Structure 1
Amino acid sequence: MTLLPDLHAASAILIALAMFYGFINGRLRVEIVSLLTIGSIALLLYVFPMPGQDKYAGLQLAFEGFGHYALVTICSLMILGRGMVVTGALDPAARLLAQMWRHNKMVAMLVTLVVCLFLSMVINDTPVLVLMIPILVQMAAGDGIPASKTLIPVNAAILIGGMSTTIGTSTNLLVVSIANDLGMRPLSVFEFTPIVLIAMLPALPYIWLVMPRLLPDNTKAVAAESRRFLAKMRIAADSPMRGKTIEEARGRLPEGVEAWLPPSAGGHVHRRVLATGTFEGLQEAARKLSGTLAPNWLVERIRAESGRSGKDLMVAEMIVAPDSRLIGLTPKNAGFEGVAMLGVHHVRQPLRDTRPHTPDAPMKEGDVLLVMGMPEDLRRFAEADGLLQLEGGQEIARSGKAPVAFAIMAGSVGLASVGLVPIAISALAGAILMFATGCVRFERAGRALSGQVIVLVAAAIALGKFMLVSGAAMWLGGILASVLQYLPPAGVLAAIMIFVTTLTNFASNSAAAAVGTPIAFNIAAKLGLPAEPLVLAVLFGCNLCYATPVAYQTNMMILAEGDYKFADYLRSGLPLVAIMVATLSASLVFWYGI
């Protein structure tokens, strides 16, 4: 072995160091650093091609990440998750989880971590996280729990579960198959599960109690200041609340929603209930009271038109402008066409406002209307009636498609989980079905995808391949092998894990598996140690990918959802890596008696 790496290996190491310095420094956006990394590899290999290759082979290596199956898989899984959200398929689970969190957040967090950990033992890590991301994000939007404080801990629990069986991740299968080719006995599915469960005992309290405190609260400021609207709920004729007292009805309302009866109701719930709250709160109140926020016939007509036209339903906020024809009119006599008014926010007048506290009061300049309709109808309504539509807008869940979306997700996850097809194929098929069935509109697919994640994945694939083919990974492994002979068995195992973990977090787990497994066999033969615990040290190291967003695809999937920075992964992930390396090394020494 040479003392110094050659030109290409040294360049790969320098580019990797520059990339991760750019991530940690934070002065440039992640996507800019990623594109600079790809460009640097392409330029280097164009000017100085690899031995035996022409200058265009380097371009293929640098840019192949954009067409890599891993990137297609991630994008497909994002679309699957989007379909689950926009159809409302996860709403029942989100409500159940939200209730648990409101009752006892600490217990709910622990339950979530444990469930995810055990699910990922037999189901691929990625589908488990795909199922959890929309629930955690909806939960954060519903009661203010920051998703940025739950996504990384839940991802860590999923990764620990995935490392505990041979089928937990594709990397596990890769390590085991390489080891079998080198002469090691086959390992059963749960062969090393007890070792991981022992190591989990000190790791779980850290993930549960400490890791959320190390992460930022990235909750958007607007979430804390949601506008409150006055609304009139139309109670269905078969609603169990008909004939109940208003006190009984209030007992079923979500927190933050206030309700009262019209003067003519006589103290009992009949056709109408007046309420005030945020849009989300009013939606939940209407669901619990079996009512609607607009006349049911109008809602059904608008939904039917949306189904026929294939266009999404939107809810938008519109301000009554000074020249609006609606000023002085009530919602009853305003004559809205093509849209349904769900509520109104009365802006109090500077001197004295004598309007009654009811959604039927005359509208004035500055009031904000909450209106539902298709985008074109909302635009025409705003132009015709002198309204200013606020930026944004919220899609209405296509609840009729919820069973279809759930079946597509279950099929995609199930096929990959039992090994019938790779997750790349089943996820892509699921994404296509989401488009074909209308669960996700193709023209709105961009909302499901993150450009930052896409270029980050492409850069990670290019860098990992360059590290491998240039000999940089092998050179680093040789350096490690030359010094391990002086360490005790626990130190050897820990050093192998640290080396492989470094490759995993700063290159790719597949490259780490391909390089680390043969090195482990060589070290075992040289030191007279059994190969199996050293191979497991490689396998565990490939899964200790908590410290960077580029380490594993699930890390990158939560990057945009949690609005994380590179330093967030380092700050919360490095202590967990240290805990797992120490406990896994000790457990391996004890388990194998070395």
Structure 2
Amino acid sequence: MMIPDAPSYHALAAIAVTIAMFVAFARGRLSIEIVSLMTIAVIAVGLYFFPLEGTKPTDGLSIAFSGFGHYALITICALMIMGRGLVVTGALDPAARLLEGVFKINLQLGLLVSLLIAFFLSMAVNDTPVLVLLLPIFVALANRGALPASKTLIPLNAAVLIGGMATTIGTSTNILVVSIAVDLGMPTMSVFHYTPIVLIAALVALPYLWLVMPRLLGDNRVESEDTVRRFEARLRIGADSVLAGQEIATILPKLPANLKFIDNPQGAIHEDQRLRISGTHEALEDAMRTLKGEVAPTWVLDRIKRKSTDKRQDITVVEMTVTADSRLVSRTLSTSGIADLYGVAVLGIHRPERIIGQRDQFDDGGDLRIAEGDVLLVMGLIDDLHDFARNDSLLILDGARELPRRSKALLAAAIMFGSVFTASIGLFPIAISALGGSILMFVTGCVKFDRVGRALSGKVIVLVAASIAIGRIVLESGAAAWLGEWMSLGLQHLPAAAVLAVIMLFVTVLTNFASNATAATVGTPIAFNIASQLGLPPEPLILAVLFGCNLCYATPIAYQTNMLIMSEGSYEFKDYIRTGVPLVILMVTTLSILLVMTYGM
């Protein structure tokens, strides 16, 4: 076997830029956005002054900036918008509450069930839509007190990717590898041709995903649980409330998480009774929904909803601090006239520990007197909220939250289901179905045009663009082909299992630093040629390429689902390296052994 020629200067430069980008990401001294933009700039400037053979200087600009117009980036943005639609309409609340019940039994059991659901769903449905469906559910679960999103999303993504590897339709990369192999003369593989191999490998990987990965990931929530404010409120029992006619002791197991009764009334609870409760913002919302009670006068809540419908504005809940100059000091909610004056509703009052215990906290009717430093949880339209804060000397705190537009929940769910279904059966490419779904989200009002910025992540956008540019320059400069030639030269004296492992690792490196398509396009013909040169059956080597293309756990740029979870989990580049590299080693070892055993090599 002849020694390959020396690589071109462009190939060496492509390898150097790729390594430099990886090192910069791993060190974490510069933000991901800065590193990504610098990478794009280096490629653009370098190819302008030193263009590829047979190209013009301006052709390099199209390579460097191709990522910003690439279908993969457009698809990711469209999927983010559809995911935002599910969140703001509350469409996934039922599924989140169902899984929340499992997590309440046991956190580890809940995570295991979730990983199994993700794995088996992605065997039949393309892995990107599966993750898009599950992602907002787990973010909602984290907000409800389950495991933090940062501890669940990377394991969940890995389960989706492993499941997608199990069938030829699980990912578009699988279809690409199989189609290239057929063009090279191999017979067509059935949908479940190699599924048993992946199922056994998944059994080996599952304990790592379930028990080890979450421990390697930190709690990246901005606000820890012990700083979440608890608000005191009066829950008015409605005629159809589950509490009516019941005693507190019998209803306690059914209460929402983080909700407590301050009073313990004796005997059965009756309609229109007012009970003092304490809970987080989310707990108060759950109390109103599940217990069918109200924490503010019904007439003002109805007026806010009607005004929201008439003006087509979202209802917002904000936290406001009472200042020393406020007229509300020493008043109660019932004597403040807030609802009449401003058309907003105060849902609850949080009293900091520093002012708990002062005298005259309650009036004769048992209502809490407002004090300087109290934090009010206020609901209304944004203009009314600002009028209230300005006129009554209140400070609006960060973290305003729009209430879900539940009237559009079914519509948003139907749009998402239609997009996922049409993509999963191959009726439309995922890019087209996602774009169509996002347009429908806008047209139907599930997502407002002025709220798109909250759905999109600038970090993810520039990271995708940089990864696409790197993939193109690695392929077009000849760097990938040159590495493949050297790899085939060194494999002739290795045992079969080592040959499979090296091919899988080579494709895995390409996948994690370039793209799945690049790895499939370069790796499949190389593996086929190696099989003929070494006298090995081609199918296990082709499968090694297919598996390697799916082992994209070690970097966020390796696959679009990795980037989708990055902002929601508040992940850094090193989180992927820390959890992904051990999983890659585990999967390469297991799959190589299984291929040798299956094909009698």
Same-fold call, TM > 0.5? yes
Question: 1:246, 1:260 within 8 Å by CA — same for their partners in 2?
Answer: no
**1:541 corresponding residue in structure 2:** 548
Task: Please state how far the C-alpha of 1:488 moved relative to its aligned partner.
Answer: 1.3
Question: What does the per-residue CA deviation read over 1:66-116, in whole Å, with 9 as the maximum and x for residues that have no partner?
Answer: 010000100111111111111111111111212211211222111111111
Task: Please state how far the C-alpha of 1:417 moved relative to its aligned partner.
Answer: 0.4
Question: 1:245, 1:269 within 8 Å by CA — same for their partners in 2?
Answer: no
Opposite residue 33 of structure 1, the aligned amino acid is V
Matches within 5 A, 1:96-175: 96-143=98-145, 145-175=147-177
Task: Please state how far the C-alpha of 1:287 moved relative to its aligned partner.
Answer: 2.1
**2:197 corresponding residue in structure 1:** 195
Task: Please state how far the C-alpha of 1:2 moved relative to its aligned partner.
Answer: 4.3
Q: 2:457 aligns with which of 450, 457, 481?
A: 450
Q: 2:258 aligns with which of 252, 256, 270?
A: 256
Q: 1:72 aligns with which of 67, 71, 74?
A: 74
Query: 1:245 and 1:449 mapped to 2: Cα distance?
Result: 47
**1:26 corresponding residue in structure 2:** 28
C-alpha spacing 1:590/1:350, structure 2 compared with 1 (3 Å): closer
Gaps of 5+ in 1: none
**2:435 corresponding residue in structure 1:** 428
Query: 2:164 and 2:434 mapped to 1: Cα distance?
Result: 19
**2:590 corresponding residue in structure 1:** 583
**1:339 corresponding residue in structure 2:** 344
Query: 1:414 and 1:359 mapped to 2: Cα distance?
Result: 55
C-alpha spacing 1:186/1:334, structure 2 compared with 1 (3 Å): same
Of all paired residues, the percent bearing the same amino acid is 58
Question: 1:229, 1:345 within 8 Å by CA — same for their partners in 2?
Answer: yes
Question: 1:320, 1:364 within 8 Å by CA — same for their partners in 2?
Answer: yes
**1:56 corresponding residue in structure 2:** 58
Query: 2:520 and 2:254 mapped to 1: Cα distance?
Result: 54
Matches within 5 A, 1:76-95: 76-95=78-97
Q: 1:475 aligns with which of 474, 482, 494?
A: 482
1:356 aligns with 2:357: no
Query: 1:202 and 1:307 mapped to 2: Cα distance?
Result: 53
1:391 aligns with 2:398: yes
Question: What does the per-residue CA deviation read over 1:493-517, in whole Å, with 9 as the maximum and x for residues that have no partner?
Answer: 1110010001001111100100001
Question: 1:246, 1:269 within 8 Å by CA — same for their partners in 2?
Answer: no
**1:365 corresponding residue in structure 2:** 372
> Which segment drifts farther, 555-564 or 265-274?
265-274
Query: 2:434 and 2:40 mapped to 1: Cα distance?
Result: 26
Question: 1:344, 1:359 within 8 Å by CA — same for their partners in 2?
Answer: no
Moved over 6 A (4+): none
1:490 aligns with 2:497: yes
Secondary structure, aligned partner of 2:144 = helix
Gaps of 5+ in 2: none
Q: 1:438 aligns with which of 441, 445, 457?
A: 445
Question: 2:68, 2:465 within 8 Å by CA — same for their partners in 1?
Answer: yes
Task: Please state how far the C-alpha of 1:395 moved relative to its aligned partner.
Answer: 1.3
Question: 1:231, 1:359 within 8 Å by CA — same for their partners in 2?
Answer: no
Question: 2:230, 2:279 within 8 Å by CA — same for their partners in 1?
Answer: yes
**2:530 corresponding residue in structure 1:** 523
> Which segment drifts farther, 274-283 or 32-41?
274-283
Question: 1:467, 1:473 within 8 Å by CA — same for their partners in 2?
Answer: yes
**1:304 corresponding residue in structure 2:** 306
C-alpha spacing 1:267/1:161, structure 2 compared with 1 (3 Å): closer
Question: 2:73, 2:464 within 8 Å by CA — same for their partners in 1?
Answer: yes
Opposite residue 326 of structure 1, the aligned amino acid is L
C-alpha spacing 1:573/1:266, structure 2 compared with 1 (3 Å): closer
1:418 aligns with 2:425: yes
Query: 2:52 and 2:409 mapped to 1: Cα distance?
Result: 52
Query: 1:351 and 1:400 mapped to 2: Cα distance?
Result: 43
Q: 1:462 aligns with which of 469, 487, 492?
A: 469
**1:380 corresponding residue in structure 2:** 387
TM-score, structure 2 normalization:
0.96
**1:268 corresponding residue in structure 2:** 269
C-alpha spacing 1:251/1:181, structure 2 compared with 1 (3 Å): closer
C-alpha spacing 1:180/1:266, structure 2 compared with 1 (3 Å): closer
Q: 2:182 aligns with which of 180, 183, 191?
A: 180
TM-score, structure 1 normalization:
0.97
> Which segment drifts farther, 535-544 or 231-240?
231-240
**2:228 corresponding residue in structure 1:** 226
Question: 1:261, 1:269 within 8 Å by CA — same for their partners in 2?
Answer: no
Question: What does the per-residue CA deviation read over 1:30-56, in whole Å, with 9 as the maximum and x for residues that have no partner?
Answer: 111111100000001000111111111
Question: 1:231, 1:275 within 8 Å by CA — same for their partners in 2?
Answer: yes
Question: 1:144, 1:224 within 8 Å by CA — same for their partners in 2?
Answer: no
Query: 1:217 and 1:414 mapped to 2: Cα distance?
Result: 34
Task: Please state how far the C-alpha of 1:527 moved relative to its aligned partner.
Answer: 1.1
**1:567 corresponding residue in structure 2:** 574
Task: Please state how far the C-alpha of 1:356 moved relative to its aligned partner.
Answer: 2.7
> Which segment drifts farther, 197-206 or 160-169?
197-206
Query: 2:318 and 2:404 mapped to 1: Cα distance?
Result: 14
> Which segment drifts farther, 410-419 or 94-103?
94-103
Opposite residue 345 of structure 2, the aligned amino acid is A
RMSD over aligned Cα atoms: 1.8
Opposite residue 566 of structure 2, the aligned amino acid is L
Opposite residue 419 of structure 2, the aligned amino acid is S
**2:45 corresponding residue in structure 1:** 43
Opposite residue 281 of structure 1, the aligned amino acid is A
Secondary structure, aligned partner of 2:361 = coil
Task: Please state how far the C-alpha of 1:288 moved relative to its aligned partner.
Answer: 2.4
Opposite residue 269 of structure 1, the aligned amino acid is H
Query: 2:366 and 2:539 mapped to 1: Cα distance?
Result: 72
Query: 1:124 and 1:564 mapped to 2: Cα distance?
Result: 24
Opposite residue 297 of structure 2, the aligned amino acid is P
- Tell me how many residue pairs correspond in the alignment: 593
Query: 1:148 and 1:262 mapped to 2: Cα distance?
Result: 38
Opposite residue 193 of structure 1, the aligned amino acid is T
Task: Please state how far the C-alpha of 1:376 moved relative to its aligned partner.
Answer: 1.1
Question: 2:262, 2:278 within 8 Å by CA — same for their partners in 1?
Answer: no
Query: 2:557 and 2:160 mapped to 1: Cα distance?
Result: 16
Query: 1:305 and 1:422 mapped to 2: Cα distance?
Result: 41
Secondary structure, aligned partner of 1:333 = helix
**1:502 corresponding residue in structure 2:** 509
Query: 1:16 and 1:260 mapped to 2: Cα distance?
Result: 60
C-alpha spacing 1:528/1:359, structure 2 compared with 1 (3 Å): farther
